[in-house]
């Protein structure tokens, strides 16, 4: 859904942002929900032997890449 420019400016929203609105004194007020920043260290901490997979064959080279 496209969000009107005044709302994106008021909430500092960008692509993929979640914007909610609430009522205050009879007016709809937009509020941007900040997305949590996740670090590489936090992501890697979730890697376990149980969720690792082996190598995958992605097919032959398509362009100038070499393996």
Mean pLDDT of 32-50: 83
Is this prediction's pTM over 0.85?
Answer: no
β-partners of residue 26 are none
pLDDT of residue 40: 93
Give the pLDDT confidence of 1-36 residue by residue, as tens digits. 666 777 767 767 666 666 677 777 777 666 666 666
Burial string for 28-55 (b: 16+ CB within 10 Å, else e) reads eebebeeeeeeeeeeeeeeeeeeeeeee
Residues contacting 48, CB < 8 A, separation 6+: none
Q: Which of 12, 33, 32, 30 is closest to 22 using CA atoms?
A: 30
């Amino acid at each position: 859904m496209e969000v009107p420019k005044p709302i994106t400016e008021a909430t500092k929203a960008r692509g993929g942002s979640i914007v909610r609105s609430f009522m205050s004194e009879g007016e709809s007020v937009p509020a941007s929900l900040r997305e949590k920043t996740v670090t590489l260290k936090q992501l890697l901490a979730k890697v376990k032997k149980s969720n690792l997979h082996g190598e995958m064959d992605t097919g032959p080279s398509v362009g100038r890449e070499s393996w």
